[in-house]
A and B are shown apart, each in its own frame.
Chain A
Amino acid sequence: MAEALAGKHTRPQPGTPAGGPPSGRAVSFAANAVRIKELSILLVTIAAAIYFSLTNAGFNSAENYHTIAQYVAPWAIVAAGEVMLLICGEIDLSAGFVFTLSPFLLVAFYHAGAPLLLSLVAALVLSGVIGTINGLIRTVFGLPAFITTLGMAFLLQGLSLILSGGSPISAPTDGWVVTWFGQGPWTEFAWTVLIVAVTQVVLSATRFGIYTQASGGNPVAAAESGIRTNQVKVINFALTSTLAGLAGILQGTRVGSYDPTNGGFNAMFFAVAAAVIGGTALLGGSGTIIGAFLGALLLGIVYDGFNLTGINASAFPLVLGIAILIAMLLNVYLTVMRKRLSSPKGHS
């Protein structure tokens, strides 16, 4: 980081020939450091962790790490989907209520006599169907995602309340399915890590990932080149919904009860906040799942740190708001910086 800071002072030489790389090692190091968007959020996360471990004795314990992991898991899983959607220029405001609804779908199948694993798969499939409906309304009728998924959000909230009768019910407790999907310690977080890793690979190492970026970056050009942008979007809506459904089941099963007041707009907006803090552009085109995971981790650490320190929980939204604003400003600023550092002429 010291080199990176030093590098920022080494202005690119105006005389650099147009064909050559930016001059100087320090500059290219700085350029690389800035280019790796996740680095800044990683540093902030580490700084927060250091701060809380210095100011609070209870922070560095296996138990507390587990607590943080439990905060992070649902946000990061939902965020993995939201990042894909944001990158292709969309958003899903209803994901939080898919999170709420899916455990009750599971229970409905389970009570009807289906084996637990099958019930879980069926709940996830239905979650995916909800996302597909979102995507189809968005692409076939051309309704903005914001409106489409806002409507869907309330619809699903109502459905959850009707299905649950408005009160929590206890989750299934027996069998390996329960152990593997939330009840076993760290299983929820293990799913999170797996999902983050797989989605990141899809985003950065497959054609579908490129299509997702292209569909959000320049829909006209993407379509011109033959990419089926609508199809890409519908798939990402379905993905987001499925992940949200899984996150809801994991969390409910871990806690041991399915609660119709779980999830909701709160869970969704925390996920979007994690994505934005992690460097995802709200207007589409760029972002990473790892960044969103780090964003969720940062939120989890701050949330946990506040609880431990005994700071009023009301202060947390304040910090969250500031974090989002700073992240957005940094995003814009870093984009300008990247442009400067890699421009051959240094200023154009």
Chain B
Amino acid sequence: MTPRNESGDVIRVEHISKRFGPLKALTDVNLSVRRGEILGLIGDNGAGKSTLIKILTGFHQPDTGQLFFEGEPVQLRSVSHARSLGIETVFQDLAMINELPVYLNLHLNKELVHTPVPFLKRREMKRRAREALDSIGINIPSVTAEVAQLSGGQRQAIAVARSVYSNAKLLLLDEPLAAMGAKESGLILRLLQQLKQRGDISIILIAHNYSQIVDICDRVNLLQHGTITFDKPSKDTSVAELLELVHAEYRLNQD
């Protein structure tokens, strides 16, 4: 075993396997993300990406293998346990209450109230929401706008901002750019860049657009048939190489 957290990994996964009945979803998966790093995770549908993400968020427990969070071995018992450690998944549409304004969404279940009469501190929450959004460069018309009035990209950005605002250490973004136009994707990619500059948040990004992956991620992992088969820094790989890897698998399956 490697000495604990010598490399400053936020999360490290060692020899993880998971099967569902006869189906081997993951086999001996090793993966790690350093502090402030953005890891791109690519792979065909059914390669095991969702299972891996669900293990990282505490939704599934692995059959074998060990997870380390900030160097310490952990067993993620539940989603809320993972969240209490600072592991957050960002869902595009599941995360927001459309009928509530942005600032209340950012403070959902963490509302600030006066004492002794527990009325909402709306002004204070608006101010903090504005600051939080400014600090990561999110530009929306107003924090008092209902989320329903925002575009998909803005909503996604707010969802990310909420995780950051609640002191997330590891963000899991499952296809945040799916079903988004170029302009909207740009919004999210800029946001991710801002977060990278902060240096205190690590991100695992699942996406199908390899040029975006190569652009934004520090490192790329390829998951094939439940195993990580490729792990390279983005600067040492290219869109062409990634495409070739996936196509090779496709050809193999055809034969």
Question: Which of A's residues lie within 8 Å of B, judged by CB?
Answer: 18-22, 201, 205-207, 210-211, 213-214, 216-218, 220-222, 224-227, 281, 285-286, 338-339, 342-344, 348
Question: Which of B's residues lie within 8 Å of A, judged by CB?
Answer: 79-80, 94-100, 104, 108-109, 111, 113, 118-120, 139-142, 145-146, 148-149, 151
- Residues of the A chain whose Cβ atoms lie less than 8 Å from the Cβ of B148: 339
- When chains A and B are docked, how far (Å) is the Cα of A342 from the Cα of B113? 28
Q: Judging by beta carbons under 8 Å apart, are A19 and B139 in contact?
A: yes
Known contacts A213-B99, A214-B100, A344-B141; 19 additional CB pairs below 8 A are A21-B142, A205-B120, A207-B120, A210-B100, A210-B104, A214-B97, A218-B98, A221-B94, A221-B97, A221-B108, A222-B97, A222-B108, A222-B109, A227-B108, A281-B99, A285-B99, A339-B148, A339-B149, A342-B145
Choose one: B99, B104, B109; the contact of A227 (CB below 8 Å). B109
B165 CB to closest chain A CB (Å) equals: 12
Which residue among A19, A210, A216, A348 has the maximum number of chain B CB atoms within 10 Å of its CB?
Answer: A210
Query: Quick one: given A213-B99, A342-B145, A348-B151, are A224 and B119 in contact (CB under 8 Å)?
Result: no
Q: Judging by beta carbons under 8 Å apart, are B100 and A217 in contact?
A: yes
Inter-chain contact total with CB atoms closer than 8 Å? 76
Choose one: B109, B141, B145; the contact of A226 (CB below 8 Å). B109
Of the A-B pairs whose beta carbons lie under 8 Å apart in the complex, a sample of 28, sorted by A's number, is A18-B139, A19-B139, A20-B141, A21-B141, A21-B142, A205-B119, A206-B113, A213-B97, A214-B97, A216-B99, A217-B97, A217-B98, A217-B99, A217-B100, A218-B94, A221-B94, A224-B95, A225-B108, A225-B109, A226-B80, A226-B109, A227-B108, A285-B97, A286-B99, A339-B148, A339-B149, A342-B145, A344-B141
A229 CB to closest chain B CB (Å) equals: 11
- When chains A and B are docked, how far (Å) is the Cα of A12 from the Cα of B80? 43
Query: Quick one: given A19-B141, A22-B141, are A207 and B111 in contact (CB under 8 Å)?
Result: yes
Q: Can you list the 5 inter-chain pairs with the closest CB atoms, starting with the nearest? A: A285-B99, A217-B99, A217-B97, A225-B109, A19-B139
- Residues of the A chain whose Cβ atoms lie less than 8 Å from the Cβ of B108: 210, 214, 221-222, 225, 227
- When chains A and B are docked, how far (Å) is the Cα of A227 from the Cα of B105? 13
- When chains A and B are docked, how far (Å) is the Cα of A314 from the Cα of B22? 68
- Residues of the A chain whose Cβ atoms lie less than 8 Å from the Cβ of B95: 221, 224
- Residues of the B chain whose Cβ atoms lie less than 8 Å from the Cβ of A285: 97-99
Chain B residue at smallest Cβ distance from A342? B149
Chain B residue at smallest Cβ distance from A344? B141
- When chains A and B are docked, how far (Å) is the Cα of A205 from the Cα of B97? 17
Choose one: B80, B96, B140; the contact of A218 (CB below 8 Å). B96
B128 CB to closest chain A CB (Å) equals: 16
- Residues of the A chain whose Cβ atoms lie less than 8 Å from the Cβ of B98: 217-218, 285
Q: Judging by beta carbons under 8 Å apart, are B96 and A221 in contact?
A: yes
A143 CB to closest chain B CB (Å) equals: 25
- Residues of the B chain whose Cβ atoms lie less than 8 Å from the Cβ of A221: 94-97, 108
Choose one: B79, B100, B119, B145; the contact of A213 (CB below 8 Å). B100
- Residues of the B chain whose Cβ atoms lie less than 8 Å from the Cβ of A18: 139, 141
A285 CB to closest chain B CB (Å) equals: 4
- Residues of the A chain whose Cβ atoms lie less than 8 Å from the Cβ of B109: 211, 214, 222, 225-227
Q: Judging by beta carbons under 8 Å apart, are A207 and B113 in contact?
A: yes
A253 CB to closest chain B CB (Å) equals: 32
Chain A residue at smallest Cβ distance from B79? A224
Choose one: B79, B94, B118, B142; the contact of A207 (CB below 8 Å). B118
- When chains A and B are docked, how far (Å) is the Cα of A18 from the Cα of B149? 13
- When chains A and B are docked, how far (Å) is the Cα of A21 from the Cα of B143? 11
Query: Quick one: given A20-B141, A22-B141, A218-B94, are A210 and B111 in contact (CB under 8 Å)?
Result: yes
- Residues of the B chain whose Cβ atoms lie less than 8 Å from the Cβ of A22: 141
Chain B residue at smallest Cβ distance from A340? B149
Q: Judging by beta carbons under 8 Å apart, are B111 and A218 in contact?
A: no
A230 CB to closest chain B CB (Å) equals: 15
Choose one: B94, B120, B142; the contact of A220 (CB below 8 Å). B94
